[in-house]
Amino acid sequence: MIEKFAKLIDVKSIVTLILTVVFAVLSVTGRLSAEQLQTAFTTVLAFYFGTQSRKKEDENHD
């Protein structure tokens, strides 16, 4: 359990969470359109989960 929590708190995760909060605040305050939010959020999530998936594949092949 502690290992999973430690993996959650890596740089990519922190950056993803910060970006999510920033984009949410910008969207709520009206400084960001829904389309801009969707594009940015989708890109960040795709990158994050893509790298996580690739990392797991690499670990399984070792």
- Over 80: is that where the pLDDT of 8 sits? no
- Cβ neighbours for 23, distance < 8 A, ≥ 6 positions apart: 32, 37, 40, 41
Across 1-25, average pLDDT: 78
User: How confident is the model at residue 36, as a pLDDT?
Assistant: 84
pLDDT in tens, 27-46: 788 888 878 878 887 887 88
Per-domain boundaries in the chain? 2-61
The gap from C-alpha 39 to its chain's centroid, in whole angstroms, comes to 13
Work out the mean pLDDT of the chain and round it to a whole number: 78
